A and B are shown apart, each in its own frame.
Chain A
Amino acid sequence: MSTDDRGTHDHDHDHDHPGTTPDVNETGYYELMAEAMKELLIEKGVVSADDVRRNLEFLDSRDPVDGGRVIARAWTDPEFKKRLLEDGTAAVEEMGLTMGDAELVVVENTDDVHNMIVCTLCSCYPRTLLGLPPDWYKSKSYRSRAVIEPRAVLKEFGTEIPDDMTVRVHDSNADMRYLVLPQQPEGTEGWPVEKLAEIVSRDAMVGVVVPEAG
């Protein structure tokens, strides 16, 4: 950015901007690039600072509880489960949940198939249903090993899949986001949907563990 086209922003940066997080560590290259991009988009009127803030606030307010509600409903409502597997985006909208710009594919665990989600290119994740992804999901180690040796990775999460079952890894590399529909644990038949939702963990919906009763 040259000093000539700085517009309203032609002051030096030895002060804090109100409403932004003070830098604790030295700012890295990509953080600086993201910040510069954000400032340009705001200066050019593409988005407002409040749009950015509101979106961050929305994403920060999401957590895996919503995903758990979706799974519990699928366990207790066979018609909903059918719609969820056919068109995940439309089915979660019925529950007042949005996928934002992406679309949802729900993959079902069965007696024969175990599903597991990864994004090898970055960290695509169904954020509107599960909140922000955990650090391990974004790590280079998970992103590369989940496609090369998924069974070894699962074992490290304490999940041993027998050899007579298929492990199906889904690389979330473009416009779809993925949610694993785990099998309902034995001993939870007849539980109310709210109680079922509580035993569906984030990691079960990414497919690195399977849910257990209580």
Chain B
Amino acid sequence: MPMFSVGDRVRIKNSHPPGHRRTPFYVRGKTGVIERYCGDFRNPEELAYGFDGTPKRELYRVRLAQTDLWDDYEGPADDTLDLEIFDHWLEKAEG
């Protein structure tokens, strides 16, 4: 059973661990909605250092509003940015 369901509001953790991370800085601390569950994958943050990447991590596509990402976004409020975030970077958000 995946941890999150489509439509769940999630916050991407605002964390800055050193090393190889797949969560781009521009989305850290931002809130979005689960668009789909992609399956579980070996953790690239472990693979990068020669470990076997287990336990596998659940990968989700998260949809964020562009106007939540950039204060001065020039475009309609419906424009979105979708990207892939591993479960250990996500926490449930209220609302």
Chain A residues within CB distance 8 Å of chain B:
103, 105, 120-121, 147-152, 163-164, 166-176
Chain A residues near B26: list those with CB within 8 A.
120, 147
Chain B residue with the shortest CB-CB distance to A114:
B79
Q: Which of A103, A151, A166 contacts B80 (CB 8 A)?
A: A166
* B47 nearest CB across to chain A (Å): 11
Among A149, A152, A163, A171: residue with most chain B CB under 10 A: A171
Interface residues on B, range: 20 to 34
Grouping DSSP codes into helix (H, G, I), strand (E, B) and loop, the A interface class, with mixed when no group exceeds half, is mixed
Closest to B22 in A: A174
Q: Is B81 an interface residue (CB 8 A)?
A: yes
B49 within 8 A of A: no
Judged by a CB distance under 8 angstroms, whether B75 is at the interface is yes
Q: How far is the CA of A163 from the CA of B85 in the complex (A)?
A: 28
Task: Write the chain A residue with the least CB distance to B27.
Answer: A171
| Given A103-B39, A175-B41, A169 contacting B74 (CB threshold 8 A) | no
B60-92 CB contact bits vs A (8 Å, 1 = yes)? 010000100110011110111111111000000
> B1-51: which have CB < 8 Å to A?
22-24, 26, 38-39, 41, 44
Interface centre among B59, B61, B73, B79 (most CB of A within 10 A): B79
